[in-house]
């Protein structure tokens, strides 16, 4: 989401100078006085012979005129030497290309090439015949060639600004009339941020980024010079291939896959210190997934930072649907003491079950502080080998309503648990991974219920905490591995510091009967607490404990009858979630004197049937509560069981509703 190299160009003193790789590249430590480049002017004979061999005038290595005949007692090459000497004088006087002209008016038969008014050469008749032009045309061509040759710089570089990645190379191409070795000086005259080498064959200069920073380099050849600004920057990081992501369950929701795929992609980013990683797409293309199916989620990432070269790539996360064999939940980790959080710190620390069983985690906390906390639920691997955990369920809130948030957390968990809908979370050795990490404002409540099943590695620690926002030990990113800090809160705790609110075998099995014409049947949920294994501390209310109820309904009469199952919040405001013969019935909130009919069964004469029910006390609700089985309205005729039309829409149908159908939730969390 994370090998790194450290760099801080803002705080680091920029060093300037150069390390030279080839002897052909001369380097001066201090900046030299600025040289003044003058165009190179040369005269030469075309061939090595004597006599009337043509003479040429070259400027900056370019032939600007060719004299084919002698004149005034001078051979062609001597005429070229005179022209060169006069041109040098003009150059020394500051000749610019615009100071060159062809004078074809003073002597039309012998046009003249002039520089700053000084005659350099005369285009005679014989010179013109050898070129195939008229004397005037020849003089004008000389002038054009000379102006062009004078405009050639002594030294130029392919760019005036160059970005060199740290520890990589970039090349400067040199051009111009100057010849010989290159001297490179820096503005500061110090040690170099780059190492420079020259290619003798091409004259190109290769710069290697040696240290982050910025510098202006001056390249000098003969008296010609050119400058180039060089910035050496590190890449903001690198993006590696992502590990595969495995999920479990039927029709795993796209939202859950996207959340875990995003975290998996972010773990493939390796930013350097000071850099930040972001996702550059507003949405991800994700589809639900079934066991055995696969899909690839593409996550575009960008790593940026100050004075760093951005890194961009699309991370392909391969997602695979798997199936795990069912296991029993052997332990309940209960984080609710204190329920009202009054100070920062760890609220609960426990360890996952060893062996083949699963661990249920329940937490329910309300902030009673005067400033926001950073609420964290994290897995801590204090071992030397990686660990993998299947996570089913999650959190709800933070909201104001303490009852509704507990109901919502349980509702989300139950739907996931029934389909074993979850994802595998990997926790590297000596690392921590936050399952929940979010801001908890004063007065708000957060609640969670999840099943944690370790499938690889040594049993992990579970830590629930109200951390200080922005603190070094606070983990802000969910599902992103973070190295374990050696602090009292994250280092492996001694056994004595683990929470005592760890309850084995968090389930109860109840049997009950109801006979038409007999007494009503009452079932108490949450009245008889389970206990911890060592201290025998009671779990009052049995929050997070599943009740598996087998209810036998019998009609021994010769007339049709109806039995109805009613939820009574006998201890106060409460919510409830029930599975009745595999169908979901959910009650966000209710209170006395209200009663909610969960199901109604029409019983023909002599009928007898067993109803399978499952429920658990919800965090934030007032338990114990009661289930009452009593007579219902007499049916007109024997018919399949139905739910009365008066049942609130938020409850859902015990008969006829799709298994796992979500309850109707309020548009906003109710307040009380």
Q: Is 598 left (phi over 0), alpha (psi -120 to 50) or beta?
A: alpha
Closest CA to 238 of 192, 272, 194, 203: 272
Q: How far is CA 365 from CA 234, 288, 358, 368, 615, in A?
A: 45, 32, 23, 9, 22
H/E element, 564: strand 561-568
Residue with tokens 């933070």: 398
Distance CA 227, CA 408 (A): 67
pLDDT tens, residue by residue, 354-378: 777 999 999 999 999 999 999 999 9
Geometric angle at alpha carbon 573, from 572 and 575, rounded to 5°? 125
DSSP 193-214: SEEEEE-TTT--EEEEE-SSEE
Q: Is 384 left (phi over 0), alpha (psi -120 to 50) or beta?
A: alpha
Predicted pLDDT at 340: 96
Predicted pLDDT at 109: 87
Are 455 and 429 in contact, with CB atoms under 8 Å apart?
no
Q: Are strands 329-335 and 502-504 parallel, antiparallel or unpaired?
A: antiparallel
Q: Are strands 358-367 and 329-335 parallel, antiparallel or unpaired?
A: parallel
Distance CA 351, CA 455 (A): 14
Predicted pLDDT at 506: 96
Closest CA to 196 of 157, 235, 234, 237: 157
Distance CA 490, CA 510 (A): 41
Question: b vs e for 200-237, b when ≥16 Cβ sit within 10 Å of the residue's Cβ?
Answer: eeebebbbbbbbbbbbbbbbbbbebbbebebbbbbbbb
Residue with tokens 């040696």: 210
DSSP 356-392: S-EEEEEEEEEE-SSS-EEEEEEEEE-SSS-EEEEEE
Partners of 213 in beta bridges? 232
Predicted pLDDT at 495: 52
Residues in the chain, pLDDT under 70: 1-35, 48-51, 189-191, 486-496, 636-672
- Quote the strand ranges of 189-292, DSSP E: 194-198, 205-209, 213-221, 224-233, 237-239, 245-248, 269-271, 276-279
Rg of the chain taking only CA atoms, in angstroms: 44
Q: How far is CA 159 from CA 42, 150, 219, 321, in A?
A: 30, 22, 12, 54
Q: Could you tell me what percentage of the chain is helix, strand and coil, using 3-state DSSP and rounding each to the nearest 5? A: 10, 45, 45
Predicted pLDDT at 343: 95
> The pTM is what?
0.75
Helix (H, G, I), strand (E, B) or coil at 513: strand
């Amino acid at each position: 989401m994370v090998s790194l190299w450290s760099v801080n160009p803002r705080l680091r003193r920029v060093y300037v100078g150069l390390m030279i790789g080839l002897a052909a590249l001369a380097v001066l430590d201090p900046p030299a006085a600025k040289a003044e480049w003058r165009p190179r002017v040369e005269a030469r004979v075309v061939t090595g012979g004597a006599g009337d061999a043509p003479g040429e005038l070259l400027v900056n290595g370019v032939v600007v005129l060719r004299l084919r005949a002698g004149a005034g007692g001078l051979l062609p090459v001597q005429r070229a030497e005179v022209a060169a000497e006069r041109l040098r004088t003009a150059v020394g006087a500051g000749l610019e290309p615009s100071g060159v002209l062809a004078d074809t008016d003073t002597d039309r038969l012998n046009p003249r090439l002039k520089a700053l008014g000084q005659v350099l050469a005369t285009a005679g008749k014989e010179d013109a015949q050898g070129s195939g032009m008229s004397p005037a045309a020849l003089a004008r061509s000389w002038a054009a060639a000379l102006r062009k040759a004078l405009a050639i710089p002594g030294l130029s570089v392919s760019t005036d600004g160059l970005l060199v990645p740290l520890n990589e190379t970039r090349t400067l191409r040199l051009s111009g009339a100057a010849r010989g070795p290159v001297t490179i000086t820096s503005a500061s005259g110090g040690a170099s941020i780059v190492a420079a080498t020259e290619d003798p064959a091409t004259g190109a200069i290769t710069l290697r980024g040696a240290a982050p920073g910025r510098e202006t380099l001056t390249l000098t050849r003969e008296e010609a010079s050119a400058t180039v600004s060089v910035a050496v920057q590190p890449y903001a990081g690198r993006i590696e291939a992502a590990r595969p992501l495995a999920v479990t369950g039927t029709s795993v929701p796209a939202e859950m896959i996207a959340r875990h795929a995003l975290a998996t992609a972010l773990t493939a980013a390796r930013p350097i210190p000071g850099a930040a990683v972001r996702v550059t797409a507003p949405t991800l293309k994700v589809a639900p997934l079934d066991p055995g199916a696969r899909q690839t989620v593409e996550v575009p990432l960008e790593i940026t930072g100050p004075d760093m070269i951005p890194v961009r790539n699309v991370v392909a996360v391969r997602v695979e649907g798997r199936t795990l064999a069912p296991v029993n939940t052997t332990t309940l980790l209960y984080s609710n003491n204190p329920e009202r959080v009054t100070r920062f710190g760890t609220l609960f620390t426990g360890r996952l079950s060893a062996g083949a069983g699963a661990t249920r985690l329940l937490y329910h906390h309300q902030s009673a502080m005067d400033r926001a906390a950073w609420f964290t639920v994290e897995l801590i691997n204090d071992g030397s080998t990686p660990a993998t955990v299947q996570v089913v369920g999650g959190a709800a809130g933070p909201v104001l309503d303490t009852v509704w948030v507990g109901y919502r957390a349980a509702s989300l968990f139950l739907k996931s648990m029934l389909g074993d809908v979850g994802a595998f979370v990997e926790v590297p050795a000596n690392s921590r991974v936050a399952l929940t990490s979010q801001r908890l404002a004063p007065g708000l409540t957060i609640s969670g219920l999840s099943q944690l099943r370790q499938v690889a590695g040594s049993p992990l620690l579970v830590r629930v905490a109200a951390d200080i926002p922005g603190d070094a030990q606070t983990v802000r990113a969910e599902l992103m591995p973070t190295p374990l800090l050696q602090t009292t809160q994250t280092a492996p705790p001694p056994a004595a510091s683990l929470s005592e609110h760890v309850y084995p075998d968090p389930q109860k099995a109840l049997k009950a009967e109801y006979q038409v014409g007999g007494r009503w049947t009452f079932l108490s949920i949450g009245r008889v607490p389970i206990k911890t294994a060592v201290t025998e501390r009671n779990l009052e209310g049995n929050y997070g404990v599943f009740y598996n109820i087998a209810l036998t309904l019998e009609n021994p009469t010769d007339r049709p009858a109806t039995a109805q199952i009613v939820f009574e919040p006998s201890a106060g405001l409460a919510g409830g979630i029930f599975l009745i013969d595999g169908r979901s019935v959910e009650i966000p909130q209710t209170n006395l004197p209200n009663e909610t009919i969960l199901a109604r069964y029409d019983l023909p004469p002599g009928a007898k049937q067993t109803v399978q029910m499952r429920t658990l006390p919800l965090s934030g609700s007032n338990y114990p509560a009661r289930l009452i089985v009593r007579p219902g309205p007499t049916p007109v005729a024997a018919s399949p069981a139905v739910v009365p039309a008066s049942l609130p829409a938020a409850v859902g149908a015990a008969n006829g509703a799709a298994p796992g159908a979500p309850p109707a939730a309020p548009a906003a969390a109710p307040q009380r």
